[in-house]
Amino acid sequence: MHLSQLLIAIATFPIVFVGLAVALIFWPVRRPAGFGGAALADFRRFVARGDFAAAPPEQRFVARDGASRAYRLYGSGADLLVFMHGSGGDSAYLARFAEGLATAAGLRVATLDMRGHGHSPGVRGDVDRLDRQETDIADLTAALKAEGEAGRFFVGGHSIGGGLAIRYTAGRETPRPDGLILMSPYVSNAAPSARPMSGGWAHARVPRFAGIQMLHRFGIHTFDGLPVVQFAISEAAKTGAETPAYSWRLFRSVTPREDWRKEIASIACDTLVLGAETDVIFNAEGYRIAFAPNPRAKVEIARGIGHFDLAMSDFARDRAAEFLRQQMAGA
């Protein structure tokens, strides 16, 4: 190859690379046959039970960017747990767990509606910054601590909210948690806890994911707000507060960073991981492998309970309450 040809090839490579990335971003994708599947059937059973506790009215705090954000508060006391909900919904379904835990452990439990979710999402399905969810946790915690005596601080979450709890705990925001509670948490699609398509719950547009991240090599973030994941939300569960799709930004903001092993290994507080034996979305036994490198993490599996039911189970409430009481007693 002549020098001139080499120079032309070098000059045109970025154009070809960017063109390929854009083609992947807009590549037509059909909804796969397995979308919905066992996960949607399990979710419909969960909704049909109809024994949810009534959630208290939303309260508000002002985040550092001036946005008015929604949360629900349970219990009283100096110690505080900030807990995040799963994908596609808001924190209302956590009412039974949060109320029971606040009573059993003797602390305040605040369930936060993550950005892009709930009745006041900001931009539904999107977020403006990758660290916005973490700064919201910090801002809510500061607001609640300012209202009373400052006690111990804990963070936790169910499903993808557990992923955000890992992200916060492994990140740099303050305050640092004194303990971490994870219920059937999302870790990574590459983690041993993952199932293909999350059992049918989530349809990821893999070519779009790839194209967006290819453009990041050139500092191009134009398409970060496009939807990359769709959830199989039942029609019976739609209230106007659901979030059926996530942008690339939102997905990345609520999940552990790409090196999820490093995220887990860096967690510097005692951690309780609760899995569900019959979970069709995540492989509960995989949590034992994923969290094994961190000696401060304890994994327990609820027998005969599924992914959604775990969030309303006596098992989760009792194990979480025992964990919190030990942490608050300094055990």
Cis before residue 227, ω within 30 degrees of 0? Answer: no
Who's near 155: CB < 8 A, 6+ residues apart?
81, 82, 83, 137, 165, 168, 169, 177, 180, 181
* Strand duo 179-183 + 297-302: pairing: unpaired
Share of the chain above pLDDT 90, in %: 83
Phi, psi of 80 (to 5 degrees): -140, 135
In the structure, what pLDDT confidence band is assigned to residue 10 with cuts at 50, 70 and 90? very low
For the stretch 167-182, pLDDT in tens is: 999 999 999 999 999 9
- What average pLDDT score do residues 29-54 get? 88
Residue 1: exposure state from Cβ atoms within 10 A (0-12, 13-18, ≥19): exposed
Q: Residue 132 is encoded by which pair of tokens?
A: 């916005």
Tell me what pLDDT residue 196 has: 94
- What average pLDDT score do residues 49-63 get? 92
Which domains are seen in the chain, by residue range? 3-328 (3.40.50.1820)
Query: Please, are residues 115 and 122 in contact by the beta-carbon 8 Å criterion?
Result: yes
For the stretch 261-312, pLDDT in tens is: 999 999 999 999 999 999 999 999 999 999 999 999 999 999 999 999 999 9
In the structure, what pLDDT confidence band is assigned to residue 30 with cuts at 50, 70 and 90? confident
* Nearest C-alpha neighbor of 186 from the set 169, 163, 209: 163
Tell me what pLDDT residue 237 has: 67
* Strand duo 68-74 + 59-62: pairing: antiparallel
Share of the chain above pLDDT 70, in %: 95
- What average pLDDT score do residues 78-100 get? 96
In the structure, what pLDDT confidence band is assigned to residue 129 with cuts at 50, 70 and 90? very high
- What average pLDDT score do residues 14-39 get? 88
One-character DSSP codes across 229-292 = EEE---GGG--S----EEEHHHHHHTS--S-HHHHHHT--SEEEEEEETT-SSB-TTHHHHHTT
- 12, pLDDT greater than 70: no
- 255, pLDDT greater than 60: yes
Tell me what pLDDT residue 330 has: 79
For the whole model, what pTM was predicted?
0.93
For the stretch 194-245, pLDDT in tens is: 999 999 999 999 999 999 999 999 999 999 999 999 999 876 567 788 999 9
Q: How many residues does the chain have?
A: 331
In the structure, what pLDDT confidence band is assigned to residue 11 with cuts at 50, 70 and 90? low
In the structure, what pLDDT confidence band is assigned to residue 50 with cuts at 50, 70 and 90? confident
